[in-house]
Amino acid sequence: MGSLKDFARLSGTIYVAGAWTKSAATTQIEVVDPATEEVIGHIADTTDAEIDQAISIANQVRKDWWRQDSRSRAVTLHDIAARIRRDKALYAEALTREEGKPFKEAVDEVSWCATAIDYYAELARHETGRIAGTTVPGQFHFAVKEPLGTVVIVLPFNYPLVLLCWEAAAALAAGNAVIVKPHEQTSLTTLKFMELFETLPAGLMQVVTGGGRVGQRLIESRDTHAVAYTGSVAIGQHVARTCAEHFKPCLIEASGNDPMIIMPSAPLDMAARGAAFAAYLNCGQVCTSAERFYVHEKVHDQFVEKLVAEAKKLRIGNGLEKVDMGPLATLKQRDRFEGMLAKARQQGAKFATGGGRPQGLNRGWFVEPTVLTEVTPDMEILNEEPFGPVAPVCRVRDFDQAIELANRSRYGLGANLYTLDMDEAFRAVSEVESGILWINAPLLDNDALPFGGRKLSGTGRQLGPEGLNQFQNTKFVMIDPKASNQDFWWFPYQDSEAYRG
């Protein structure tokens, strides 16, 4: 119950200049526990004046942070990571109460925060620039990496802490200040999470809560210098257009509609377990959830039977109990998901299992894990992101058709393949149009390798050196220590070099 007391204390606050203060906002937004439908707190719709104050503070503090040596910045970040590991259960409880995911998944998410911070703390000490061979004897030519300034991070509800740390760790390690606009559903957890960042200089990391207006003011400000946004395609496009007005760098991670291909050589028991995990993790609210299943006709029926069995095993309920799947995060999300299932039924899909609400769970935004069959490529359920626990299965005749249908999407975030045929595996590497490809190992991440997509899934990358580069400016420097004569190209030009007709 500790988190509920924290939510009461944090309700209506913002985190500015290293302190939680009550916002002057007159508009408050209720936060509802998705498992109980109980109001557990409220957040402020931060005022314009408070947003501008946070921006001003960030721009003052970031300069001193950049003046520190890289080792000192790394030590501070490692200390934050250690505190996260020590107290991860406290923040996992808060996350489960606000977002709904099982406590085990929340603990995993908080743990991933620590590894990302540790990774960038060290990487930033190495990725500081490079030296190149000169083009003139006696000179020194090199490039240095500098921070961009104040970075705005706009977060979704589904993974609010790990996405915060993927981006903020890179931005801070690169020498920037950070202002966070969390999703309305998970703002209280984000405010509580700031306890772990108190060792940073006051104002280097700040949180302002509220709706779209708050994010828009941060993004359009001339005094913010980069944006990282995770959310819908439509808003991502608006963010990109706003950033373009000032040529402000932006990292956009928008929707996904990831395919999973199942081939005859795949071990079907393992493939079915992997498919269930990829479809139902966090109640299907993962941008890289497997949402389109293309299954070879030779193994289609066997695979569906095994996937249905895996779906029926899942324990559904409050994430603070012994369960495998919690509720959807909001009533709006459940209404949308159920609408997509109804459309799939209308278009001819068959429900092998699920499609309704679990018995005995009369409160909360719970739905059943669902498997659809007789799905055709033109159905809406295969062409839009359901963001819920559904596995639509489409029969394919061969690998060529599977690749063709996998690529026939407006999105290109991740993709999955189960096969033991190495020819198929390496064809997928070169032919699948995605930013991420998992072969026989769905949804794993690696801090040292980039995460991001193609097409309408966004632009830019999180994680890896690429994630650090998102928040750095590269400056080319040329030094002549002796300020020597450079007549080989200075004025006056030699008469012998003139055009002679």
**Residue 29 and residue 34: Cα distance in Å, rounded?**
15
At residue 441's C-alpha, the angle toward residues 435 and 446, to 5°, is 55
* CB contact at 8 A, 206 and 55: no
β-strand 370-373 against 350-353: which pairing, if any? antiparallel
194 Rama class: left (phi>0) / alpha (psi -120 to 50) / beta: alpha
* CB contact at 8 A, 159 and 186: no
**Residue 285 and residue 101: Cα distance in Å, rounded?**
9
* CB contact at 8 A, 328 and 100: yes
Reduced 3-state DSSP string for 81-127: HHHHHHCHHHHHHHHHHHHCCCHHHHHHHHHHHHHHHHHHHHHHHHC
**Residue 368 and residue 356: Cα distance in Å, rounded?**
6
**Residue 201 and residue 18: Cα distance in Å, rounded?**
8
* CB contact at 8 A, 70 and 300: no
Q: How many CB atoms lie within 10 A of CB 363?
A: 13
Mapping DSSP to helix (H, G, I), strand (E, B) and coil, where does residue 404 land?
A: helix
Tokens, residue 84: 């996260």
* CB contact at 8 A, 132 and 141: yes
Q: Which residues contact 75 (CB under 8 A, 6 or more apart)?
A: none
Q: For residue 290, what is the DSSP state? A: E
Q: Which residues contact 336 (CB under 8 A, 6 or more apart)?
A: 387, 388
Name the one residue in this structure whose structure tokens are 């070099």.
497
**Residue 256 and residue 435: Cα distance in Å, rounded?**
11
Tokens, residue 306: 């095994």
Selecting among 98, 109, 253, 310, the annotated active-site residue is: 253
- Count the helices and strands in the chain (H runs, E runs): 16, 22
φ, ψ at 130 (rounded to 5°): -160, 160
**Residue 265 and residue 398: Cα distance in Å, rounded?**
12
Name the one residue in this structure whose structure tokens are 């369960």.
323
Q: Can you name the residues that pair with 353 across neighbouring β-strands?
A: 371
Query: Known catalytic residue: 253?
Result: yes
Nearest to 393 by CA among 434, 441, 427, 344: 344
Known catalytic residues are 253
